Amino acid sequence: MKLLKIMAAGAILAGGVALTGCNDLEQPPSNQYTNANFWTKKNVGLLVNTAYTQLYSAGTMWGDEELADNLYNGYRAEDRHLIRRGIATSSTGTFGWNGWYGGLRSCHTFLENCQAVDGVDEAVVRRLKAEARCIRDFIYFRLTNLYGDIPFFMENPTLDYASTLKRTPRAEVIATITEDLEDLIADLPKKEELPVDERGRLTQAAAAMLRARIALMDSDWATVASWTKRIIDGEFGRYELFPTYDGLFAEENEYNDEVILDMGYVQGVKTWGEITNMKPPSLRANYITWTPTQSLVDSYLTLGGYTIDEQGTDYDPANPYANRDPRMDATVIHDKSKVYDPVTGLTHTIFISRNSGVSADNVGSGAGLDRTVTGYYTRKWFSPIKDDNGYNSGLNIIMMRYGDVLLMYAEAMNELGQMNSTVWDQTIGALRARAGFTADKALKMPAGDLRQIIRNERRVELALEGLRWWDIVRWKAGLEYLNGPVKGCTFVGGDAVLDTYVFDENRDYRWAVPQSEIDFNPNLKPQNPGYGA
């Protein structure tokens, strides 16, 4: 059974709980919660559940993907597309942070009131407090990575105080949340201690992985290596790679031993719809916006372990999708891909090239598209509604998994100058073997500089999982990956250039502080570089 983070009716208002005050002369309203009637044994966990929904979603993941170079938005009018073209302003809607601060409000409201609940076991309160603190640390980590210095507080501010807040330096935010994480881990359960109906809640391993990601973002390689090694050694619970790559993302395999944290969805109850704008029209899609890029497809090795332009490669330009890393087919639908549809029980051959025959899945052009503009569709996360009553997916969104732990450990050990064949075989070699590689060139550690090899391995293993943008930011590699032409496959037409991205090294590693927030509180100045005063 999936954990559904659904609040009771009337409990959510603007990112927090609508709690009204009362005194002895007032009768509590019958249609809303008050401080007098909300904090009961029955309701004690509801606000933490709300905070989970404010922490992450499918929309968050796909929005993060669109910021990078794995997906292209053919509609072109969306805010993140404006960011990538270098024309966003401080008033661009995506830069708004109210939703994230709403999540912080939920956490703080719970932490400020949970001790007053009668009849609740102390151990339950301690665990819920650890969850709320961990969610708060997640959100602050995201905010400070996006904006740098941010308004930072550890309890709900009054409106008057909020109007005077200044931005806290990022280093101070990071120091506080890392100390908090290390303190709360012991109050969270290990995966093995979670009841079946609580799967999806935070565990010790999730908090430990967040601690490693914080260090990763700042290239603190010794700390990354230490925390990921502790996860690998099983200190926070037992995790391992799922036997197959494509099976990892199948609904029947949810909550497997590779998953460290995911966001729960349930078909017909709580679903997400972004996949309808990414899959072939013949598989009941909506209008098509996000489609994989040629750059992503080109990043996959051949089965022999070669890049597609490497001397001695076994790549065939006349048959470009054959003999490739199996993770490509598990992630991207290309011309003549075969896709099984569990709704109809049929396997469809997807014809995309105009030379392949008449098909609803052929390449389109222009805005408001009903077909792909890059020549590709998305296969990863494809999980049709079984009764075919809608387009949406009920597939869980994986936020953290053991495969990423191995990649972080490999990168850290390489940057520390401690990569060797044992570490390689345990990390990159294991991931490639799971993917289906058998050639020694692919499985054995190569000689020479491994940095780009490991970076590319992150791209193909974690493609379309919302992590690529954050990798590019921490590598300070915006000019390498996010500046210049965006291409589709060759049969798109012309030279296959669809657009041109612009990346400004002095501006684009940070988002603008929302102009509406500066208008409300001028103390948030100065604005981040490149977005005006």
Quick: pLDDT tens for 220-255: 999 999 999 999 999 999 999 999 999 999 999 999
Tell me the whole-structure pTM to 2 decimals.
Answer: 0.93
Best CA proximity match to 213, nearest among 122, 137, 282, 325? 137
pLDDT at residue 382 in the model: 87
The stretch 28-36 carries a mean pLDDT of 58
Q: Point out the least confidently predicted range of 53-57, 111-115, 136-140.
A: 111-115
Tokens of 531: 């977005």
Q: Which domains does the chain have, with CATH numbers?
A: 1-22+31-187+504-533 (1.25.40.390), 410-503 (no CATH)
Sign of the four-CA dihedral 227, 232, 235, 237: positive
d(CA 215, CA 328): 30
CA-CA distances (angstroms) from residue 198 to 118, 191, 194? 23, 10, 6
CB 148 within 8 A of CB 507: no
Please tell me the distance from the alpha carbon of residue 224 to that of residue 218, in angstroms, as a whole number.
10
| Residue 114 clears pLDDT 50, i.e. is over it | yes
Q: What rounded mean pLDDT belongs to the chain?
A: 89
- Name the pLDDT band for 344 (thresholds 50, 70, 90): confident
Q: What's the confidence (pLDDT) of residue 31?
A: 55
Give the Å distances, CA to CA, from 311 to 155, 259, 298, 432, 453: 59, 38, 15, 21, 16
Identify the band that residue 367 occupies on the pLDDT scale cut at 50, 70 and 90.
Answer: low
Closest among 179, 224, 256, 186 to 454, alpha carbons compared? 224
CB distance 190 to 203 below 8 Å: yes
Predicted pLDDT at 266: 85
279 and 362 in contact (C-beta within 8 Å)? no
Q: How many whole angstroms separate alpha carbon 472 and alpha carbon 474?
A: 6
Q: Which residues pair with 337 in a beta bridge?
A: 350
Residues 6+ apart with CB under 8 A from 286: 273, 276, 277, 391
Q: Which is more confident, 356 or 442?
A: 442
**How far is it, in rounded angstroms, from Cα 106 to Cα 13?**
10
Residues 6 or more apart in contact with residue 153 via CB below 8 angstroms:
108, 165
pLDDT greater than 80 at residue 490: yes
CB count within 10 Å of CB 247 equals: 13
Query: Would you say residue 3 has pLDDT above 60?
Result: no
* Residue 155 CB burial class (10 angstroms; 0-12, 13-18, ≥19): exposed
Q: How far is CA 28 from the centre of its chain?
A: 41
Burial 475-509 (b: 16+ CB within 10 A, else e): eeebeebbbeebbbbeebeeebebbebebeeebbb
Q: How far apart are CA 525 and CA 533, in angstroms?
A: 8
pLDDT tens figures, 425-446: 999 999 999 999 999 999 999 9
Cross-strand pairs, 485: 500
Q: How far apart are CA 310 and CA 362, in angstroms?
A: 30
**Strand ranges inside 288-387, DSSP E:** 290-292, 332-333, 337-341, 346-350, 377-378
Q: What are phi and psi of 346, to 5 degrees?
A: -110, 150
Residues 451 and 437: beta-carbon distance below 8 Å: no
Backbone phi and psi for residue 338, each to the nearest 5 degrees, phi listed first: -110, 125
Distance, in Å, from the CA atom of 41 to the CA atom of 45, rounded to the nearest integer, reads: 8
Q: Do residues 4 and 266 lie in contact, with contact meaning Cβ atoms separated by under 8 Å?
A: yes
Which stretches within 243-378 are classed as H helix? 294-298, 326-331
d(CA 445, CA 424): 6
Say if residue 13's pLDDT is above 70: no
Highest mean pLDDT: which range of 5-14, 33-42, 109-118: 109-118
Residue the block writes with tokens 């390449």 = 363
Q: Which residues contact 176 (CB under 8 A, 6 or more apart)?
A: 152, 154
In this structure, the number of other CB atoms found within 10 A of the CB of residue 520 comes to 12
**150 to 2, 168, 305, 444, 485: CA distances (angstroms):** 35, 5, 44, 44, 33
In the three-class reduction of DSSP (H, G, I as helix; E, B as strand; rest coil), residue 525 is classed as coil
Q: How many residues does the chain have?
A: 533
| Residues contacting residue 530 through CB under 8 Å, at least 6 positions apart | 504, 506, 507, 508
- Which pLDDT value is given to residue 229? 98
- For residue range 135-190, what is the model confidence (pLDDT) as tens digits? 999 999 999 999 999 999 999 998 888 889 999 999 999 999 999 999 999 999 99
Where does residue 344 fall: left (phi above 0), alpha (psi -120 to 50 degrees), or beta otherwise?
A: alpha
Q: Which position has the token pair 């072109």?
A: 76
Mean pLDDT for 293-305 is 97
Phi, psi of 399 (to 5 degrees): -95, -35
pLDDT at 194: 93
